[in-house]
A and B are shown apart, each in its own frame.
Chain A
Amino acid sequence: MQGSLTPLSVLGPQADDERQRIRRQFESGVGARETVAALCQLADSNIRQVFGEVLRVHNTPSDGLCLLALGGYGRRLLFPYSDLDILFLFGNERAEQSFRPLIADFARTLWDLGFRVSSAGRTLEECKRIEEDNVEFHLALLDRRFLSGDSELFEKLDTRVLPGSEKQARAFMLAQLHKLTKDRLTRYGNTIFHLEPNVKEAPGGLRDYQAAVWLRQVAGGERGIQGSSAAEEDLASGAVDFLSAIRCFLHYSNARNDNTLTYELQAAAADRLLGVSDGLPRDAAEWMRLYFRHARTLNRQLLRYLEQKTVTPRSLRQRIFSAARAAKIEPRNGKPFAVRDGMFEVLDQHALSDRAVTFQLFTEAASTGVPLSRRAERSLAYIMKHPEIPAHNAEVTWPVLRAILAADYPGVALRPIQRLGLLTEILPEFSRIDSLVVRDFYHRYTVDEHTLRTIEHLQELADPPDARGTHFQTLWKSVDRRDLLIFSLLLHDIGKGMAVENHVAGSLEALDTAAHRLQLSEEETSEVHFLIEHHLEMSATVQRRDIFDPSTISAFANSVGNQERLQRLCLLTYADIHAVNPEALTPWKADMLWQLFVATSNHFSRTLDRDRLHAHDELSLLEQIRAHVPNIGTEEIERFLEGFPRRYLAVHSAAEIAAHLSLSQKLRSEPVQTELHTTAHTFSLTLLTADRPALFATIAGILAGWGMNIIKADAFANAAGVVLDTFHFVDLHRTLELNPTEIGRFRQSLADVVNGKAPLEPLLKDRDLASRARPPKVAIDTRTNFEDTSSEHSTLLEIVAQDRPGLLYDIGSTLARLGCNIEVALIDTEGQKVIDVFYLTEQGKKLSLHKQEILRRALQGKLE
């Protein structure tokens, strides 16, 4: 540059010295805020000096030209290797032409001084127009700051030109900002959890904060988007400080504008306690926990802003109309919350001080899949953070939690429950895995995030997003005790946050305290214990064993114990793998998992008849039963148990077995003993009596005659010939539900018909068969399959058919008519499909091939 008063040879080293000084300050512990401000000041003074000198050299006044700082530089946030975003503003086109050579000199000099300049030029007139394909420029203009030159020109731009055009284009800008933000978040997988996050651009990064500020600014402040509370701003401010410190550190470490927080740099940042105010040493995993907490703060704030509607200019007529429409949304059934625009809103905030109401809201969210709006969450947060508002019903009981966990969309409730800190109130154990990082290249998410994602992967099985979930969809829909499965998932990895060698042991410890506090029953605790203890077993079997080898299946089946547990364990395994990272559950792995499930499930049904109880060997069980029925001797207990299939133990607790035993003691005086229980939507009938021909068909017929649709059943017999049949059915016509006095008549009818005191036919004749005429929603072909190898003394018959009332009676009566005795039966329903397994004998032996064929034809004819 000619004739400059301060040569480059002086300016250059001065700028370098100052940069080094700022860097030394940062590395000695000065905060990021001060560092970026100092870098900004350095840039400002150099730019002003160089600009002044260039004007002098070109002998030109600055009239008609000014320099503006834009974007981050405009906000006085200049990171060590960030570009300087500068705008050359010209008064008119003539000025633009005349200043061109000067600008070239200016930019070149700044580059020589080590400043990376990214510049644009506009005339004042051009700034009036919104460039629809360059929204980023207009966003950068929002942070404009005068640097040097014609200040009057800047005033015109700042106070007259831009406010007008920004107001006019507000709706467009807001929509574009939404789009840009959502596109960016999508590019990064809509998750803050990256192993090596980009601290500027990734969700949870600095851009999230800036986008939230822009949204507020473009929308016009309080009138448009609701601002954050002071507490939220404090939290966000702390997060920005932390991430800014990381960004400075990354720039200095990489010597370029690289914002990726790599594994190595995570360790280095942790070593120097970057951003840590308490001075306590942390390893990289613990330090990243801080990172994710701050990232979560910024991301949640942004998502809250994004969720709010864009503000569009409305006429008075439009405003009146929408106000009138809003007033028509009434609380549902007197509840202080309602659904508006696809989200739950709180209508009466103070009602939420009653935790029972709060959990009612969560239960409805979990049942319907309708999420809470961010505004609703803020209402809840407000109540929780104000101790002067007394909370009622603060203790959450297991039945309340169960209702959420058993619902179709538990994740929809659990997410806000976790965000609000309620999850750690209910389950303090969960705090051990809050933002806990597992530092390997396989686990993408923190442990708490992984846990919640497991639950979300299960709930999306209602409508699987891809082929990996197709097979498991039916399991999710039919699994028993979903609440225990979800509870197991909540606890399964808590041990990772404990100082234990094996995280499973730690998780089991957490279960002990949680189950005790929430008062789960012994059976429930035992079930959850099993799932947690074995949660890695299915995956390990798939990976390390030959799943096409029957001995592998047999060993695995022995370990699992029964079909119901297998179903829960399979779903847990599916969810656990799926939630490790988006690619973890490959189609290959999903298929292998399904194959293992199918093979094991078939093993259970095919060994039903083979594995019988020898009561004498079941010492622990005998003791447990004796505890419930101390007045019954051991010999009688053994006599009762002897010969039942092992499945009987798998599906009944010691208390239930004791109750059955007590019933069996009364058979001498009353030959048919029944027990009837109601559950949420079904009835459960247990019937004990001596075996006799066509018994199963008779009971099925009585139930059909009363209009009951059987959805599940077990039929067992012990060595003494006592039959214990359990039927789960739906009361199609609500006879028993609406007429409780009919329950006694129903039970008497069962006893009378089974005893032969009353005929079955009248019951069946009068029953309305109109339901047969209704075409099924899904057509199921009838299939019968015989197998002679599963049992030494019975033939296995598997029937798959279209469900309809009276079906089981038709099957049972056909079997009876053809002289087949049912040794064991396992009845199940899956939507419109029934899957019935019978172990049959004829005169104490397996069925001949000829008999099998007769039976096949008879059943096909009856069932189609």
Chain B
Amino acid sequence: MMKLEAIIQPSRFESVKDALREAGIEGMTVTEVRGHGRQKGHTEVYRGREYTVDLLPKIKLEMVLPDKLVNTVVDTILKTAKTGKIGDGKIFLSRVDEAIRIRNEERGENAL
């Protein structure tokens, strides 16, 4: 099992979510986050005041996947989240030792 974390542009979230659903992925955790990589912040001056956004708003997706679905999900996210500009985001993968469903204590991939 692998945990996938993807930081994406908020404007791409709906497309990514729809595409993942079509690919059969129903479960995910979504968080509104802020951050930056190489993408610079944004400053607007409005009525004499500067409004600087150093940490840009992003969406973080998290899901734990059976090994056989990882490549499909990564490809799906890459296709739908990409705009080609700096700030598109990143995907991180890490191994998961165990998953347990609280309701019936199922373990392993059956719990996903």
Asked if A783 is an interface residue, CB under 8 A from chain B, the answer is yes
Residues 61-105 of chain B: 1 if any A CB is under 8 Å from the residue's CB, otherwise 0? Answer: 000000000000000000000010000000000000000000000
Chain A residues, Cβ within 8 Å of B14: 543-544
Chain B residues, Cβ within 8 Å of A601: 46
Interface 9-mer from A295-303, A360-368, A504-512, A583-591: A583-591
Whether B32 contacts A800 by the Cβ 8 Å rule is no
CB distance from B72 to the nearest CB of A (A): 24
CB distance from B42 to the nearest CB of A (A): 5
Residues 148-178 of chain A: 1 if any B CB is under 8 Å from the residue's CB, otherwise 0? Answer: 0000000000000000000000000000000
Given contacts A586-B32, A588-B32, contact A546 B83 (CB under 8 A): yes
Whether B48 contacts A783 by the Cβ 8 Å rule is yes
Residue in A543, A594, A830 whose beta carbon sits within 8 Å of that of B51 in the complex: A594
Distance between Cα atoms of A830 and B56 in the complex (Å): 28
The residues in A between 517 and 561 inclusive whose CB is less than 8 angstroms from any CB of B are: 542-548
Asked if B23 is an interface residue, CB under 8 A from chain A, the answer is no
Whether B32 contacts A602 by the Cβ 8 Å rule is no
Residue in A543, A586, A589 whose beta carbon sits within 8 Å of that of B13 in the complex: A543
Distance between Cα atoms of A599 and B51 in the complex (Å): 10
Residues 841-853 of chain A: 1 if any B CB is under 8 Å from the residue's CB, otherwise 0? Answer: 0000000000000
Residue in B42, B44, B47, B51 whose beta carbon sits within 8 Å of that of A833 in the complex: B47
Chain A: CB-nearest residue to B56: A548
Residue in B32, B46, B56, B83 whose beta carbon sits within 8 Å of that of A598 in the complex: B46
Given contacts A591-B57, A595-B53, contact A602 B11 (CB under 8 A): no
Chain B: CB-nearest residue to A589: B32
CB distance from A538 to the nearest CB of B (A): 14
Chain A residues, Cβ within 8 Å of B45: 602, 785, 798
CB distance from A471 to the nearest CB of B (A): 8
CB distance from B92 to the nearest CB of A (A): 21
Whether B10 contacts A592 by the Cβ 8 Å rule is yes
CB distance from A699 to the nearest CB of B (A): 24
Residue in B11, B33, B51, B53 whose beta carbon sits within 8 Å of that of A544 in the complex: B11
Asked if B34 is an interface residue, CB under 8 A from chain A, the answer is yes
Chain A residues, Cβ within 8 Å of B53: 591, 595
Main secondary structure of the interface of B (DSSP, over half): strand
Distance between Cα atoms of A780 and B10 in the complex (Å): 36
Given contacts A548-B42, A589-B32, A601-B46, contact A595 B51 (CB under 8 A): yes
Given contacts A543-B13, A591-B53, contact A800 B48 (CB under 8 A): yes
Asked if A835 is an interface residue, CB under 8 A from chain B, the answer is yes
CB distance from A838 to the nearest CB of B (A): 15
CB distance from A798 to the nearest CB of B (A): 8
Whether A546 contacts B32 by the Cβ 8 Å rule is no
CB distance from A863 to the nearest CB of B (A): 12
CB distance from B80 to the nearest CB of A (A): 13
Classify chain A's interface size: 20 to 34
The residues in B between 7 and 53 inclusive whose CB is less than 8 angstroms from any CB of A are: 9-11, 13-14, 32-34, 42, 44-48, 51, 53
Distance between Cα atoms of A546 and B57 in the complex (Å): 10
Whether A833 contacts B48 by the Cβ 8 Å rule is yes
Chain B residues, Cβ within 8 Å of A599: 44
CB distance from B54 to the nearest CB of A (A): 12
Whether B34 contacts A602 by the Cβ 8 Å rule is no
- Of the candidates A542, A586, A598, A830, the one having the most CB atoms from chain B within 10 angstroms of its own CB is A598
Distance between Cα atoms of A546 and B6 in the complex (Å): 18
Whether A588 contacts B57 by the Cβ 8 Å rule is yes
Chain A: CB-nearest residue to B31: A588
Distance between Cα atoms of A830 and B32 in the complex (Å): 33
The residues in A between 811 and 845 inclusive whose CB is less than 8 angstroms from any CB of B are: 830, 833, 835
Chain B: CB-nearest residue to A546: B11
Whether A543 contacts B46 by the Cβ 8 Å rule is no
Chain B: CB-nearest residue to A471: B51
Distance between Cα atoms of A160 and B57 in the complex (Å): 70
CB distance from A208 to the nearest CB of B (A): 34
Chain B: CB-nearest residue to A800: B48
Chain B residues, Cβ within 8 Å of A548: 42, 56
Chain A residues, Cβ within 8 Å of B10: 542-543, 592
Chain A: CB-nearest residue to B34: A588
Chain B residues, Cβ within 8 Å of A588: 32-34, 57
Chain B residues, Cβ within 8 Å of A595: 42, 44, 51, 53
Distance between Cα atoms of A525 and B39 in the complex (Å): 44
CB distance from B56 to the nearest CB of A (A): 8
- Of the candidates B9, B45, B48, B57, the one having the most CB atoms from chain A within 10 angstroms of its own CB is B48
CB distance from B6 to the nearest CB of A (A): 17
- Of the candidates B9, B11, B32, B83, the one having the most CB atoms from chain A within 10 angstroms of its own CB is B11
CB distance from B61 to the nearest CB of A (A): 15
Distance between Cα atoms of A783 and B45 in the complex (Å): 11
Distance between Cα atoms of A798 and B9 in the complex (Å): 32
CB distance from A826 to the nearest CB of B (A): 12
Whether B57 contacts A602 by the Cβ 8 Å rule is no
- Of the candidates A542, A543, A548, A594, the one having the most CB atoms from chain B within 10 angstroms of its own CB is A548
CB distance from B33 to the nearest CB of A (A): 8
The residues in A between 564 and 595 inclusive whose CB is less than 8 angstroms from any CB of B are: 586, 588-589, 591-592, 594-595
CB distance from B10 to the nearest CB of A (A): 7
Chain A residues, Cβ within 8 Å of B51: 594-595, 598
Chain B: CB-nearest residue to A595: B53
CB distance from A600 to the nearest CB of B (A): 10
Distance between Cα atoms of A830 and B9 in the complex (Å): 34
Chain B residues, Cβ within 8 Å of A543: 10-11, 13-14
Chain A residues, Cβ within 8 Å of B9: 546
Chain B residues, Cβ within 8 Å of A589: 32
- Of the candidates B13, B33, B42, B47, the one having the most CB atoms from chain A within 10 angstroms of its own CB is B47
Distance between Cα atoms of A267 and B44 in the complex (Å): 50
Whether B48 contacts A602 by the Cβ 8 Å rule is no
Residue in A545, A546, A592, A800 whose beta carbon sits within 8 Å of that of B47 in the complex: A800
Given contacts A548-B42, A588-B34, A591-B57, contact A835 B11 (CB under 8 A): no
Chain B: CB-nearest residue to A597: B46
CB distance from B88 to the nearest CB of A (A): 10
The residues in A between 777 and 823 inclusive whose CB is less than 8 angstroms from any CB of B are: 780-781, 783, 785, 798, 800
Chain B: CB-nearest residue to A837: B47
CB distance from B62 to the nearest CB of A (A): 17
Distance between Cα atoms of A817 and B55 in the complex (Å): 44
CB distance from A260 to the nearest CB of B (A): 18
CB distance from B81 to the nearest CB of A (A): 12
Distance between Cα atoms of A548 and B53 in the complex (Å): 10
Chain B residues, Cβ within 8 Å of A785: 45
Distance between Cα atoms of A116 and B13 in the complex (Å): 52
Residue in B13, B57, B83 whose beta carbon sits within 8 Å of that of A592 in the complex: B57
Chain A: CB-nearest residue to B47: A835
Whether A598 contacts B44 by the Cβ 8 Å rule is yes
Distance between Cα atoms of A529 and B44 in the complex (Å): 30
CB distance from A556 to the nearest CB of B (A): 13
Chain A residues, Cβ within 8 Å of B13: 543
Distance between Cα atoms of A543 and B51 in the complex (Å): 20
Distance between Cα atoms of A542 and B46 in the complex (Å): 19
Chain B: CB-nearest residue to A801: B48
Distance between Cα atoms of A601 and B45 in the complex (Å): 10
Whether B83 contacts A830 by the Cβ 8 Å rule is no
- Of the candidates A780, A800, A830, the one having the most CB atoms from chain B within 10 angstroms of its own CB is A800
A-B contact pairs, 8 of them (CB 8 A): A543-B14, A548-B42, A588-B34, A591-B53, A591-B57, A780-B48, A785-B45, A835-B47
> Chain B residues in contact with chain A, CB under 8 A?
9-11, 13-14, 32-34, 42, 44-48, 51, 53, 56-57, 83
User: Ordered nearest first, which 5 A-B pairs have the shortest CB separation?
Assistant: A800-B48, A588-B32, A598-B46, A598-B44, A835-B47
> Chain A residues in contact with chain B, CB under 8 A?
542-548, 586, 588-589, 591-592, 594-595, 598-599, 601-602, 780-781, 783, 785, 798, 800, 830, 833, 835
Beyond contacts A591-B57, A594-B51, A599-B44: 13 other A-B pairs, Cβ-Cβ < 8 A, are: A543-B14, A544-B14, A586-B32, A588-B57, A591-B53, A592-B57, A595-B53, A601-B46, A602-B45, A602-B46, A785-B45, A800-B48, A830-B47
